[in-house]
Amino acid sequence: MTKTKNKINVLHIATLNRPIRQDLGYGPIETVIYNIDKGLHELGHRSIVACSGDSSVIGEQFTTIEKSFSEYWSTDTELQRENMRKHLLLSLERAQQGDIDIIHMHDAIMVEFIFKGVIKSPVPIVMTLHVPAAEKVSFKRWNESFISSSEVYFVPISEYQRKQHEGLVNMQKVIHHGVDVENYPFNSNPGEQDYLFSIGRITQDKGQDKAIEVAKRTGSRLIIAGNVQNKGKDRAFFKRLEKSFDLVTDAGKPFADSEYYEKVMKPILDSDKQIIYIGEVDSAQKRLWYRHAQATLFPIGWGEPFGLVLIESMACGTPILAFNKGSVPEIVVHGKAGFVVDTIDEMVELVKSINLIDPSDCRTHIKDNFSVATMAGKYSELYQQILEVST
């Protein structure tokens, strides 16, 4: 990785739902923050992450509150709001010490404090747009409040998302998420264990019910991993799914990589069960489930801004079978890294063709387009452009 000539001091104001560290199970935004921090550090920048004390980052850690919220979604409480205020105010106090060039924010709710006059940023702010426009009324208020000279710059994570936010002031070029490809074990023998894999939050939008239908219609084994958030509609959806499970087991057991396959995965895969729910697994564990799968199913029912599952799976050489929604067609190369389809009938039909995909093509596609180095390099260029304008 080529280091940058101009060292930039970046302060990330992290989200608080879960800690910022490498071994998370579900924590998409936190995973991205960890990867940007790592990539910037390796480029030679000074990356400081304002985060909870149970985090573990590659750059410098600036602890604002003792512990993250743990639950990715929970009822809004005054304690959480107070912790968020404390986190933001301490982060801004850190930024005011005079050694920070750029603040990088990742939480739409936190930006609300700017408009309420609680804080004033001493340096330009980069805001990564992690969520769809429809999910946050904040976006509309931002558009009404900002002028083009405002030093807040919005970064979409896909072309699909950029179009959703069309007209937002200070919209920047798309910067796709990236993964550290070398951390993903390569699948040199596709379909080695002859199962399909589905991973993600258990919710209607993620389409686990469609994945089950594909498995049943093709006679394939299906491994489903993911957490169930404390939301009424998600719990109800999971209850409906349970009727189709042939086995429910906990695959999140803490074994080292060398033991995990033998002690956790193999007993599950040696069973005669077809539809298996394994609960939430951490990052190291899910990489092994990707690696041994025939393909990863991504039958989403919504316009997802960016699916980390897609690039994680392909980094292992495991192809994708996904619906043509949201950012999917700009991430998955149809016919080369998997198949992008419009209907469940097409997905069912193409399961038998998945062995035509070369695992090396999947991994190369991620190395060339969705690596941590590529993502960090683009953020580095953006920071530099902003600072040149600001000075």
Please check whether residue 52 lies inside any domain of the structure: yes
Please check whether residue 4 lies inside any domain of the structure: no
Query: Hey, what are 108's tokens?
Result: 């739409």
Please check whether residue 248 lies inside any domain of the structure: yes
> For residue range 146-189, what is the model confidence (pLDDT) as tens digits?
655 568 889 999 999 999 888 888 899 999 999 999 999 987 76
Residue 44's CATH number: 3.40.50.2000
Distance CA 260, CA 258 (A): 6
pLDDT value for 134: 66
What mean pLDDT comes out for the span 360-367?
96
- The answer on 333 and 382 residing in a single domain is no
Task: Specify the DSSP class assigned to residue 245.
Answer: -
Contact partners, residue 202, CB within 8 Å, separation at least 6: 208, 224, 226, 227, 228, 229, 234, 237, 238, 241
Torsion 173-176-177-180 (CA) sign: negative
Distance CA 176, CA 385 (A): 18
- The answer on 267 and 347 residing in a single domain is yes
Confidence of residue 22 (pLDDT cuts 50, 70, 90): confident
- The answer on 385 and 348 residing in a single domain is no
- The answer on 86 and 230 residing in a single domain is no
Instruction: Please name which of 4, 87, 5, 1 lies closest in space to residue 49, comparing C-alpha atoms.
Output: 87
Please check whether residue 347 lies inside any domain of the structure: yes
Domain interval for residue 25: 9-178+371-390
Please check whether residue 223 lies inside any domain of the structure: yes
Provide the number of structural domains found in the chain.
2
Angle between helices 208-218 and 344-351 (to 10 degrees): 50
* Range in 4-18, 21-35, 147-161 the model is least confident about: 147-161
pLDDT value for 132: 75
- The answer on 240 and 359 residing in a single domain is yes
pLDDT value for 313: 97
pLDDT value for 374: 96
Distance CA 317, CA 303 (A): 25
CB neighbours (10 Å) of residue 188?
11
Task: Specify the DSSP class assigned to residue 4.
Answer: P
> For residue range 285-330, what is the model confidence (pLDDT) as tens digits?
999 999 999 999 999 999 999 999 999 999 999 999 999 999 999 9
**Percentage above 90 pLDDT, the chain:** 68
What mean pLDDT comes out for the span 39-54?
96
> For residue range 51-109, what is the model confidence (pLDDT) as tens digits?
999 999 999 999 999 999 866 555 667 888 888 889 988 998 999 999 999 999 988 76
pLDDT value for 178: 97
Distance CA 77, CA 117 (A): 22
Please check whether residue 131 lies inside any domain of the structure: yes
First-to-final CA distance of the chain: 28
pLDDT value for 108: 73
Report how far apart, in Å, the C-alpha atoms of 343 and of each of 52, 304, 319, 323 are. 43, 17, 18, 7
> For residue range 115-146, what is the model confidence (pLDDT) as tens digits?
554 456 788 999 999 877 665 555 666 666 66
Say yes or no to pLDDT of 215 above 80.
yes
Task: Specify the DSSP class assigned to residue 1.
Answer: -
- The answer on 196 and 128 residing in a single domain is no
- The answer on 67 and 35 residing in a single domain is yes
pLDDT value for 85: 85
- The answer on 138 and 266 residing in a single domain is no
Say yes or no to pLDDT of 3 above 80.
no
Please check whether residue 3 lies inside any domain of the structure: no
pLDDT value for 118: 45
Query: Hey, what are 162's tokens?
Result: 């950029």
> For residue range 238-285, what is the model confidence (pLDDT) as tens digits?
999 999 999 999 998 887 777 898 999 999 999 999 999 999 998 899
* Range in 39-53, 109-123, 190-204 the model is least confident about: 109-123
pLDDT value for 102: 95
- The answer on 240 and 110 residing in a single domain is no
Please check whether residue 101 lies inside any domain of the structure: yes
**Tokens 């940023």 -> residue:** 121
- The answer on 196 and 136 residing in a single domain is no
Calculate the CA dihedral of residues 95, 96, 101, 102 and round it to 10 degrees: 40
- The answer on 35 and 16 residing in a single domain is yes
pLDDT value for 269: 94
Distance CA 161, CA 164 (A): 5
- The answer on 299 and 191 residing in a single domain is yes
